[in-house]
Amino acid sequence: RFEDGTVSFLDIIALKHGFDALEKLTGGMEKIKQHTFALAHYTYTVLSTLKYANGAPVVRIYSDTDFSNPDVQGPIINFNMLDENGEVIGFSQVDKMASLYNIHVRTGCFCNTGACQMHLDISNEDMRKNLQAGHVCGDDIDLVDGRPTGSVRISFGYMSSFEDAQTFLKFIITTRLSKSGTAIPFQSSVKELTTESVPDDHPSFNNADKLSPLPHISDRELRNNSSATKTTGNWQPTETEVESIRAAVSDIAVPTCRRGGKPITVTNIYLYPIKSCSAFEVAEWPVGNQGLLYDRNWMVVNQNGVCMTQKQEPRLCLVNPSVDLTKKVMIIQAEGMDPISVSLEENTGKETVICESKVCTHRAKTFDCGDRIAAWFSMFLGHPCRLTRQSSDMKNRSHQKNTKGPTPATNISLSLVNEAQYLLINIASILHLKEHVSARLEEPLETEELIQRFRANIVISAPESFEEEEWAEISIGALRFQVVGPCSRCQIICIDQQSGERNKEFLQSLSAARGRKTNFGIYLMNQPLHSSFPDTLSVGSQVLPVLKENTEIQPPASSEE
């Protein structure tokens, strides 16, 4: 009845072949059910017993069963991670940390609002408040007033293994628990769980060419088995654990204007002409209607027309674009490659429509920069790709978040950025984080390296770390900016912008330093001025912030914490 057009007869025909293949590979759904349930039951049991040194649970599991019967419980575990004070850690942070360990989780409400309301104790009125706070399905607003808007889910399939379950549990241990004083219910429970998790009345996996049973692993075998992620009886992680540091939140009424003190100035200005490529530092730069002129006007796409970022291709940070406004060209350089130039004049060639999921899930209308540039990038990156540029008629792409201010952000045009026209960071905040990262790495760290990792447009020198998060608006010279909100960081800060090498300690250190979030820096939108002054941003300009009124301030954790 709901079919629109021809019935999908090819897919219907394919169903039998699909089930036949599944039967041949696994022995059928009954064996899959036993196998996946054993993994889920084992993981559920271990997760349920993980505790902090103070006895507080590490996770809160949401389930309608006790994982005792595969006929009523599927191979999924739905949970929220907690800190040692029992406060929920937002699912978006858990998702970002899991990605560092190559673990894919699903987060949010899973298209099941009713179950979400029931298990998270969210009333209809709470749902309305969350919507008013700007929360929509699929966003990163995981906590509203300290309460979760969703949760984290892991799933097991027929291809999942015991080692996969261990890898996930090791991720939880590594990021949440300390090395000493942590009792892990692992040693004595592995054999019992793997042999008794499936009820006796269910046939076991006993056919060699079907699914293999979970192995009977003794304590000695587990200690000597390198494939079991080098887990010992005490399950000591090999990497430095993340300390749980939660900043206290207090309701503080702040004045409209910033208190007097040391002047705040702009110390650095960066633009990124090609999305995800290296920064181009300038002393002063014109401001356009989408941000800094030519900032993120180009992007590298794969053969399917999808934007490539450093998440998929870290070597993009080794591509160095620079813009010559006098000659009206962009020069692109990289080690081992001859420089190549791209005209700043907009091409009138064939336009193509591509989909780039991280640009607010909008379709970006672009045009191709030609085969010569495509060959350059393909040779450097080692696989086919092309350079495209945002079309000038893409004025309708605007910010969609709920914001406050004299000029609604929804009226402002965006380039190929993810969230907003500008990203601002504070050197005082960088120095605060530098202490945490250096302590974890046990080696000195250059301030400039940290600045580059956070890929900001505007770097300022304010007296206090993270005071920028208290601002509602700022003025720089003749320009006024509205603060859109904090920047929630992802794994890109783990990439050394000089070498392209990854180090997950940076995101873990940020998480430890900031408590339950990975925020660093603030997003800005330019509020158009009716002024005779030229719209130019300059290093050395004074920054005049306006503070939020009656805001919740989350100060950085002290060294004692």
pLDDT digits 0-9 by tens, 42-83: 999 999 999 998 999 999 999 999 898 999 999 999 999 998
Digit-coded pLDDT (tens) for 140-189:
788 888 889 899 999 999 999 999 999 999 999 988 885 434 444 443 34
Report pLDDT for 347: 61
Which pLDDT belongs to residue 1? 63
- At 522, the pLDDT band (50, 70, 90 cuts) reads very high
Six token digits for residue 389: 């540029």
Q: Which of 181, 13, 176, 172 is nearest to 84 (CA)?
A: 176
**In contact, 243 and 512? CB cutoff 8 Å:** yes
Residue 490 known to be catalytic: no
* pLDDT digits 0-9 by tens, 270-287: 999 999 999 999 999 999
Question: Which of 9-13, 231-235, 484-488, 518-522 is predicted with the least confidence, judged by mean pLDDT?
Answer: 231-235
Q: How do beta strands 422-426 and 458-461 pair?
A: parallel
List beta partners, residue 422. 524
What pLDDT, on a 0 to 100 scale, did the predictor assign at position 362? 58
Report the pLDDT value the prediction gives residue 374, as an integer from 0 to 100: 94
Task: Give the whole-angstrom CA distance, residue 561 versus residue 531.
Answer: 48
pLDDT given at position 161: 92
Give the Cα separation of 47 and 58 in Å (integer).
Answer: 8
Report the predicted TM-score, pTM, of the whole model to 2 decimal places.
0.66
Q: Class for domain 15-176, per CATH?
A: alpha beta
Q: How many Å apart are CA 553 and CA 515, to the nearest integer?
A: 13
Percent of the chain with pLDDT over 90: 42
Confidence at 260, pLDDT banded by 50, 70, 90: low
Confidence of residue 521 (pLDDT cuts 50, 70, 90): very high
Active-site entry in 109, 111, 116, 490: 111
Whole-angstrom distance, CA of residue 168 vs CA of residue 180: 20
Residues 94-127 have pLDDT tens digits of 998 888 888 999 999 888 888 888 999 989 988 8
What's the start-to-end Cα distance of the chain, in Å? 61
What span, in angstroms and rounded, lies between the C-alpha atoms of 161 and 38?
Answer: 10
- Per-residue pLDDT tens digits for 321-380: 999 999 999 999 999 999 999 999 876 555 554 444 344 455 667 888 889 999 999 999
- Per-position DSSP letters for 378-428, written without gaps between them: HHHHTS--EEEEE-TT-TT-B--S---SSS-GGGSB--S-SS-SEEEEEHH
What pLDDT does residue 517 have?
A: 77
What tens digit of pLDDT does each residue of 380-430 get? Answer: 999 999 999 887 765 445 544 444 444 444 456 778 887 789 999 999 999
For residue 92, pLDDT over 80 is answered with: yes
C-alpha distances out from residue 284 to 83, 266, 291, 417, 478, Å: 44, 10, 13, 21, 14
Q: Which tens digits make up the pLDDT trace of 456-489?
A: 999 999 999 999 999 999 999 888 899 998 998 8
Arithmetic mean of pLDDT, 534-539? 84
Q: Which of 38, 388, 453 is nearest to 216 (CA)?
A: 38
Residue 280: both structure tokens together: 């181009």
Per-residue pLDDT of 190-207, as tens digits, reads 444 443 444 444 443 333
- What pLDDT sits at residue 527? 62
pLDDT value at residue 100: 84
Q: Structurally, what CATH architecture does the domain formed by 256-291+417-550 represent?
A: Beta Barrel (2.40)
Domain ranges of the chain: 15-176, 256-291+417-550, 297-392
Pairing status of strand 551-553 against strand 250-252: antiparallel
